[in-house]
C-alpha cells in the first residue's frame, strides 16, 4: 500500500517544487554560461598577452644577433690573422650600442683570444689563456654551427642575472653577455595587477624574464608542471595548474627561435571573483523567492484545506454513531460547498436508517435470548457426551497394542491409533478387508481360521499369528479376539487386540539362520572378498580402457555435430548435444575419481618424514595461479611435519584445499587456513575456510562416495572427501568435520606417529 500524505503537504510541496526547479535550472544554466564566458575571456586575454610578449621578444633578440653578426663581418673584412683588430672593432660597436656587458672571442679549441666591452682585455697576453671548450654555449655553437643562447647565470662582475648568445666565427665562437633586465622590461607592462602577469622560462626551467626582477635567474619548479614542460615540446594552450602554491589559469606559448616558453597567467580566485559574487547573489535570490512562494502557498492551502478538515471531523463523528448537525463551512470554492451539501444529505439518511436498525435490533435481541437458552441446554448435554468420548479415546490411545471393536457382522465400528497404524483405517469395513490387500490373497468372506469367528461361536478367547505386507515390509501380527457382551450377557460384538511381533519373529528366524549358516558364511565371505578384489582390478582396467573409448567417441561425434552441423540443428537439439558433451565430461571425471579411489587401497605406503606446510604452500600457489582474479588469503602455519606417504598426503591436501577453494568461491574475501592444535595431548591438523559451510546434521554422510551436501551451484563428483578419508585411514588416523551453514567449514584429521 502506498504511503499516504496530507493534501496540505502535497500542495505545499508541489508549489515549492514548481517554483524551485525552474529557478535552479535557470541559475545552473546562467552560472554555466558565465563560467564558460569568463574562462574564454581569460584565455583570450592570456593568449593576447603571450603573443604580444612573443612579438616584443622576437624584435628584441634580433638586436644582439645583428650586432654580433656585424662584428663578425667587419673582422672577416680586415682578414687579421694575428687578431689585432678584435678589441677595437668590438669596442666601437659596444660604444655605439652598449647592449652587451662583455664580448668574448674564442678560437676553435675554446681558447680566449680577447674580450671587449666593460671587461677590457688585451688581445695577446702573457697570462695563462682561459679555455671555454667545456662551456655549454661554446659546445652548442660548435656542434650545431648556428647561434645559441645560454641558460641564465649570475655575472661575477655585477652580481646580476645575465644571459649569453654565441655565433660561429672562423673556426671559433663570438659570444656576447647581456643583462636580463632588458628582457624583464618587455614583460613588466603585462603586470596589470599582482594576480596577472607574464614571464619567460628557459628549457632548464630558469626564469629569463619576470616582472619581479628578484626572481630572474631563479629555478622554480617549472619542470614539474606538465603544462609548461609540454610547451618545451612545442605544445601551446591554456590550462589550470598550481604556481607558487596558488591556483592559476595560464596560457603556455612556445618561442621557437631559442626553445623558450612564454607563460601568461591569471590568478584563478581573482579572475572568478565577480562570478563567485554573482553565484552568492543568485543563491540568496532563490532562497528569497522560495520563502515567499512557501508563505503564499501556506496561506492559500490553509484556506482550501480548512473545509476539508471540517468534513473529515464530521465523518468521524458520523462513523462513531453521533448526531451530525449542519455547520457553516466558510469556503470560496463551489466544489467544496457542493461536497458539504451532499455530505449533510448523506448524514440525514444515515441517521434515519440508524433509528430503523435500532428498532429491528430490539426485536432480534428478544429472539436471541430465547435461542441462547436452548443452545445452553444443548451444549450442556453435548459436553457430557464429549467428556465420555474423551475418556474412551484417552484409554484407547494410551494402549500400546492395537485395539478394535467389531459388530456381529465383522464390521469395524471403532479402532485406536495403534490399530490404525498396523492395519490402516478400517472403520465401517469388514475385518477381512483390513488384512487381505494383496492381489493374490484378497478374500471376500470371513476366513476359516478367523479367531473372532471362533470367539463368536463359543464365547472363548483365541489367538493367532498373521502376516501382512505393507510396501516392501512384511509385518508379523499377533491377533487376540474375545467376545463383547451386553448387560444381559449376550454377545453383541467382539474385541480384537493386535500386537506387532515382527522384531521378535525376525530375531528368532535370524538366530536360527545364523546358527545354521555361520561357518558357511565365513567361507563364502572369504571367497567373496577375494573375488571382489579381482573384480575391482578388472573393473579398474575396464573403466580405464573400455569405458574411455566409447566416451571419447560420444563426446567427439557430439562435438562434430555441434560444430559442423550447427546451422541445420534447431536450438533444442543443440541443447541436447551440449548436455551430452557435458555428461561425457562429468562421467570422465567420475571415472578418474573411481580409479583414484580404487588405487588408494592397493598402493604401497612409503612412509617418511613429510613437511606438511610446504605441501600446503605449493598447492595454495597452484590454486592462486590457476584463478588469479579471486581474492583468497591463505594462512599456513609453518614448520608442521608428520610421518606418512608424501605422495598420498599431497593427494589428500589437494582434495581438502580444493574443497575449501570451491565452496568459498562465492565469498568476496575468502580465507583458507591450515594449522594444528592439541586434543588429548595429540596433534590434530585442520583445514578451515569461510565458505558456504553445511548442515552439521548431515556430517556423518559427508565422506560417503558420491554423497554431496550442496546443489549444482558447486561442481563436483562427490569422491574427493571419500579419497581423503581413505588416505587418512591408511595412515592410521581419522578425519571429521565441523561447520556452520553460510559461515564456513573446518576439517580435522590425525596421522599415526
- pLDDT tens digits, one per residue of 124-139: 444 457 888 888 888 8
Range from 57-66, 87-96, 521-530 carrying the lowest mean pLDDT: 521-530
Are the beta carbons of 79 and 72 closer than 8 angstroms?
no
The whole-number pLDDT of residue 638 equals 92
Nearest to 400 by CA among 423, 413, 419, 424: 419
The whole-number pLDDT of residue 600 equals 56
Q: What is the fold, at CATH topology level, of the domain defined by 399-500?
A: Beta-Lactamase (3.30.450)
pLDDT: is 645 or 528 the higher one?
A: 645
Range from 12-26, 106-120, 143-157, 356-370 carrying the lowest mean pLDDT: 12-26
Mean pLDDT rounded to a whole number for the chain: 77
The whole-number pLDDT of residue 191 equals 76
Cell numbers found for residue 228: 609548461
Nearest to 675 by CA among 666, 665, 685, 683: 685
The whole-number pLDDT of residue 365 equals 82
Grid-cell match 439518511, residue found: 349
Grid-cell match 448526531, residue found: 323
Burial code of 66-96, b = ≥16 C-beta within 10 A, e = fewer?
ebbeebbeebeeeeeeebebbbebbeebbee
Q: Which residues contact 405 (CB under 8 A, 6 or more apart)?
A: 412, 413, 414, 415, 484, 493, 494, 495, 496
The whole-number pLDDT of residue 686 equals 93
First-to-last CA distance in the chain? 69
Kind and range of the H or E element at 483?
strand 473-485
Quick one: average pLDDT of 638-665? 86
Phi, psi of 143 (to 5 degrees): -75, -40
Residue 500: pLDDT over 90: no
The whole-number pLDDT of residue 675 equals 92
Extents of the domains making up the chain: 35-60+183-271, 80-179, 272-394, 399-500, 508-580, 605-749
Range from 430-444, 552-566, 601-615, 739-753 carrying the lowest mean pLDDT: 430-444
Kind and range of the H or E element at 592?
helix 571-602
Are the beta carbons of 741 and 695 closer than 8 angstroms?
yes
Are the beta carbons of 468 and 475 closer than 8 angstroms?
yes
Residue 737: pLDDT over 70: yes
The whole-number pLDDT of residue 711 equals 52
Q: Domain spanning 80-179 has what CATH number? A: 3.30.450.20
Give the β-pairing of 196-201 and 735-740: unpaired
Q: Give the DSSP per-residue string, 175-244.
A: EEEEETHHHHHHHGGG-SBTTEEEEEE-TTSBEEE-SSGGGTT-B-TTTT-HHHHHHHTT--EEEEEEET
The whole-number pLDDT of residue 673 equals 92
Cell numbers found for residue 187: 614583460
Instruction: Return the CATH architecture of domain 35-60+183-271.
Output: 2-Layer Sandwich (3.30)
The whole-number pLDDT of residue 443 equals 61
Domains 35-60+183-271 and 399-500 share a fold: yes
The whole-number pLDDT of residue 127 equals 46
Hey, which CATH number is domain 605-749, 3.40.50.280, 3.30.465.10, 3.90.78.10, 3.30.565.10?
A: 3.30.565.10
Q: Is the dihedral of CA 528, 533, 534, 539 positive or negative?
A: positive
The whole-number pLDDT of residue 425 equals 83
Task: Round to whole Å and give the CA distance between 153 and 138.
Answer: 15
Are the beta carbons of 480 and 473 closer than 8 angstroms?
no
Strand partners, 260: 255
DSSP letter, residue 581: H
pLDDT per position as a tens digit, 47-84: 888 888 888 888 888 888 888 888 888 887 776 655 66
Identify the top-confidence range among 14-23, 149-158, 187-196.
149-158
Range from 249-263, 556-570, 610-624 carrying the lowest mean pLDDT: 556-570
Cell numbers found for residue 438: 494383496
How many CB atoms within 10 Å of residue 410? 20
Cell numbers found for residue 102: 662583455
Residue 239: pLDDT over 90: no
For the chain, what percent of residues have pLDDT higher than 90? Answer: 3
Are the beta carbons of 452 and 494 closer than 8 angstroms?
yes
Quick one: average pLDDT of 462-487? 82
Q: Helix 571-602 vs helix 502-541: angle between axes, to the nearest 10 degrees?
A: 100
Strand residues in 680-722 grouped as ranges (E)? 682-689
How many CB atoms within 10 Å of residue 318? 17
pLDDT per position as a tens digit, 387-397: 777 777 677 77
Task: Round to whole Å and give the CA distance between 342 and 329.
Answer: 13
The whole-number pLDDT of residue 585 equals 67
Are the beta carbons of 637 and 611 closer than 8 angstroms?
no
Query: Is residue 497 classed as helix, strand or coil in its secondary structure?
Result: strand
Task: Round to whole Å and give the CA distance between 411 and 72.
Answer: 145
The whole-number pLDDT of residue 552 equals 67
pLDDT: is 3 or 422 the higher one?
A: 422
Task: Round to whole Å and give the CA distance between 385 and 153.
Answer: 124
Residue 162: pLDDT over 60: yes
Residue 351: pLDDT over 50: yes
Q: Helix 86-96 vs helix 7-78: angle between axes, to the nearest 10 degrees?
A: 140
Q: Grade residue 375 by pLDDT with cuts at 50, 70 and 90.
A: confident
Cell numbers found for residue 598: 580404487
Task: Round to whole Å and give the CA distance between 274 and 401.
Answer: 102
Are the beta carbons of 627 and 665 closer than 8 angstroms?
no
The whole-number pLDDT of residue 438 equals 47
Cell numbers found for residue 307: 473545509
Burial class (CB in 10 A: 0-12, 13-18, 19+), 161: buried
pLDDT per position as a tens digit, 193-210: 556 888 888 887 788 888
Cα-only R_g, the chain = 55
DSSP letter, residue 544: I
Which of left, alpha, beta for 138 (phi over 0: left; psi -120 to 50: alpha)?
alpha
Quick one: average pLDDT of 1-9? 61
pLDDT per position as a tens digit, 411-422: 888 888 888 877
Nearest to 116 by CA among 176, 62, 159: 176
Task: Round to whole Å and give the CA distance between 230 and 242.
Answer: 15
Q: Grade residue 613 by pLDDT with cuts at 50, 70 and 90.
A: very high
The whole-number pLDDT of residue 331 equals 58
Grid-cell match 672562423, residue found: 170
CA atoms within 13 A on the CB side of 706: 6
pLDDT per position as a tens digit, 685-720: 999 998 877 777 766 777 766 666 555 656 666 677
Amino acid at each position: 500500500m502506498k504511503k499516504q500524505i496530507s493534501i496540505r503537504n502535497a500542495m505545499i510541496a508541489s508549489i515549492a517544487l514548481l517554483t524551485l526547479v525552474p529557478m535552479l535550472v535557470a541559475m545552473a544554466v546562467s552560472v554555466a554560461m558565465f563560467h564558460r564566458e569568463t574562462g574564454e575571456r581569460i584565455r583570450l586575454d592570456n593568449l593576447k598577452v603571450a603573443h604580444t610578449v612573443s612579438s616584443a621578444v622576437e624584435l628584441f633578440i634580433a638586436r644582439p644577433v645583428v650586432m654580433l653578426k656585424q662584428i663578425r663581418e667587419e673582422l672577416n673584412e680586415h682578414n687579421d690573422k694575428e687578431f689585432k683588430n678584435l678589441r677595437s672593432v668590438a669596442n666601437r660597436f659596444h660604444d655605439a650600442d652598449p647592449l652587451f656587458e662583455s664580448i668574448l672571442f674564442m678560437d676553435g679549441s675554446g681558447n680566449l683570444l680577447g674580450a671587449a666591452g666593460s671587461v677590457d682585455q688585451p688581445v695577446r697576453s702573457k697570462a695563462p689563456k682561459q679555455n671555454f671548450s667545456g662551456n655549454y654555449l661554446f659546445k652548442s655553437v660548435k656542434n650545431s654551427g648556428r647561434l645559441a643562447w645560454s641558460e641564465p647565470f649570475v655575472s661575477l662582475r655585477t652580481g646580476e642575472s645575465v644571459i649569453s648568445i654565441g655565433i660561429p666565427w672562423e673556426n671559433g665562437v663570438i659570444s656576447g653577455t647581456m643583462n636580463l633586465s632588458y628582457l624583464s622590461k618587455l614583460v613588466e607592462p603585462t603586470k596589470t595587477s599582482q594576480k596577472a602577469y607574464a614571464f619567460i622560462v628557459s628549457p632548464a626551467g630558469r626564469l629569463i624574464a619576470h616582472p619581479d626582477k628578484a626572481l630572474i635567474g631563479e629555478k622554480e619548479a617549472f619542470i614539474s608542471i606538465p603544462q609548461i614542460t609540454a610547451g618545451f615540446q612545442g605544445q601551446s594552450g591554456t590550462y589550470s595548474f598550481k604556481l607558487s602554491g596558488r591556483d592559476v589559469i595560464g596560457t603556455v606559448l612556445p618561442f621557437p627561435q631559442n626553445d623558450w616558453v612564454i607563460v601568461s597567467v591569471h590568478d584563478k580566485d581573482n579572475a572568478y571573483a565577480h562570478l563567485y559574487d554573482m553565484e552568492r547573489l543568485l543563491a540568496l535570490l532563490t532562497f528569497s523567492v522560495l520563502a515567499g512562494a512557501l508563505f503564499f502557498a501556506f496561506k492559500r492551502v490553509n484556506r482550501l484545506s480548512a473545509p476539508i478538515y471540517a468534513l473529515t471531523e464530521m465523518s468521524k463523528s458520523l462513523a462513531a454513531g453521533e448526531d451530525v448537525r449542519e455547520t457553516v463551512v466558510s469556503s470560496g470554492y463551489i466544489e467544496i460547498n457542493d461536497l458539504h451539501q451532499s455530505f449533510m444529505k448523506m448524514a440525514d439518511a444515515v441517521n434515519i436508517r440508524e433509528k430503523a436498525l435500532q428498532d429491528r435490533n430490539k426485536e432480534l435481541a428478544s429472539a436471541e435470548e430465547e435461542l441462547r437458552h436452548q443452545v445452553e441446554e444443548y451444549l450442556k448435554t453435548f459436553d457430557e457426551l464429549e467428556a465420555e468420548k474423551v475418556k474412551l479415546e484417552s484409554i484407547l490411545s494410551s494402549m500400546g497394542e492395537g485395539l478394535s471393536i467389531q459388530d456381529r457382522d465383522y464390521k469395524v465400528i471403532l479402532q485406536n491409533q495403534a490399530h490404525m497404524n498396523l492395519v490402516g483405517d478400517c472403520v465401517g469395513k469388514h475385518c477381512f478387508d483390513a488384512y487381505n490387500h494383496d492381489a493374490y490373497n484378497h478374500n471376500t468372506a470371513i476366513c476359516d481360521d478367523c479367531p473372532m469367528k471362533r470367539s463368536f461361536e463359543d464365547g472363548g478367547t483365541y489367538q493367532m499369528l498373521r502376516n501382512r505386507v505393507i510396501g516392501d515390509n512384511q509385518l508379523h501380527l499377533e491377533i487376540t479376539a474375545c467376545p463383547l457382551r451386553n448387560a444381559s450377557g449376550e454377545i453383541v460384538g467382539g474385541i480384537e487386540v493386535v500386537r506387532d511381533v515382527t522384531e521378535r519373529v525376525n530375531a528368532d528366524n535370524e538366530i536360527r539362520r545364523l546358527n545354521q549358516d555361520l561357518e558357511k558364511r565365513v567361507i563364502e565371505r572369504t571367497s567373496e572378498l577375494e573375488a571382489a578384489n579381482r573384480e575391482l582390478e578388472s573393473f579398474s582396467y575396464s573403466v580405464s580402457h573400455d569405458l574411455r573409448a566409447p566416451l571419447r567417441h560420444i563426446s567427439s561425434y557430439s562435438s562434430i555435430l555441434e560444430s559442423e552441423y550447427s546451422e541445420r540443428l534447431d536450438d533444442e537439439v543443440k541443447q541436447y548435444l551440449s548436455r551430452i558433451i557435458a555428461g561425457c565430461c562429468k562421467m570422465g571425471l567420475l571415472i578418474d575419481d573411481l580409479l583414484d579411489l580404487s588405487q588408494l587401497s592397493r598402493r604401497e605406503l612409503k612412509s617418511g618424514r613429510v613437511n606438511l606446510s610446504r605441501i600446503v604452500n605449493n598447492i595454495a600457489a597452484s590454486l592462486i595461479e590457476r584463478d588469479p582474479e579471486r581474492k583468497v588469503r591463505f594462512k599456513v602455519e609453518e614448520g608442521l611435519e608428520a610421518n606418512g606417504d608424501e605422495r598420498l598426503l599431497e593427494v589428500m591436501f589437494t582434495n581438502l584445499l580444493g574443497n575449501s577453494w570451491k565452496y568459498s568461491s562465492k565469498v568476496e574475501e575468502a580465507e583458507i587456513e591450515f594449522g594444528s592444535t592439541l586434543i588429548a595431548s595429540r596433534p590434530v591438523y585442520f583445514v578451515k575456510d569461510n565458505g558456504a559451510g553445511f548442515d552439521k546434521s548431515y556430517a556423518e554422510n559427508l565422506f560417503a562416495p558420491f554423497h554431496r551436501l550442496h546443489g549444482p551451484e558447486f561442481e563436483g563428483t562427490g569422491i574427493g572427501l571419500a579419497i581423503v578419508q581413505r588416505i587418512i585411514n591408511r595412515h592410521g588416523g581419522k578425519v571429521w568435520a565441523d561447520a556452520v551453514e553460510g559461515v564456513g567449514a573446518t576439517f580435522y584429521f590425525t596421522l599415526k606417529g
